[in-house]
Each structure stands twice: as structure tokens, then as C-alpha cells.
Amino acid sequence: QVQVVESGGGLVQAGGSLRLSCTASGLTVDDHAMGWFRQALGKEREGVSSISWSGEFIHHRGDVKGRFNISTDNATNALSLQMNSLQPEDTGIYYCAAETTWTGCTLNSYTFNYWGQGTQVTVSE
């Protein structure tokens, strides 16, 4: 049974940084991807960043490039998202997700089949 658990959200002022962490237990396939998604109040869920488990492929949405870094630790099945220069528009619930059928490191939520419960990130003015 696959279990995905996030941690590390919180409240930060604009320009600040936060680091999100995620552990995914029960994954048995090697060739898959992990990703971070977010959902702001009243908006649809959107992909933020994804990474192949090997770390070879990374995909960021345009407005986080240069500010967010995604990384994996294969030894512990852990995923991290370092978020720098945070802006109020980054506010939302951030979800960690696992994709167990390789589709090319996308930001499409429908290709990810295991999800965490989400962690709140709030960026104040």
C-alpha cells in the first residue's frame, strides 16, 4: 500500500523561504516520477514541479522557475521542494503526489495516482 505524507508548510512573509518535504512509502517501481501540486482557494489544482525518481528529468511551471528547487533522496524515498522568494500568489494547499506509470515527468494531475493530504502554505504581503 502506497502512502504519501507531506510536511513543512506554514506562514511566511513575501520574499521568504519554505521547504516542503514528502515521504512516499510502499512504492515498488523504479521508473516513476514525483510531483508537487497546489490549489489556491477557489481555483483549480495546478502542477508546480515534478521530478523523475532518478533525478534526471525535472519540470517546473513557468512562474516558479528560478525560485523553486525540487529534489529526491532515493535512499529514504523522500521528496523536497525548496521554495525561495515566495510571493502571495504562491499561497495554497500544496500536495505531494506519486506517478507509478512513467509518462514523462509532467505537471498533469491526472497522471499521478497517489496523493498526500496536503500542507498549507500562506505567504503574506
The answer, yes or no, to whether residue 116 has pLDDT greater than 90, is yes
Range 49-77 average pLDDT = 92
In this prediction, residue 100 has a pLDDT band, given cuts at 50, 70 and 90, of confident
What's the mean per-residue pLDDT of the chain? 93
Cα 98 from chain centroid? Answer: 10
Percent of the chain predicted with pLDDT > 90: 77
Please tell me the predicted confidence (pLDDT) of residue 114.
94
Percentage of the chain beyond pLDDT 70 is: 98
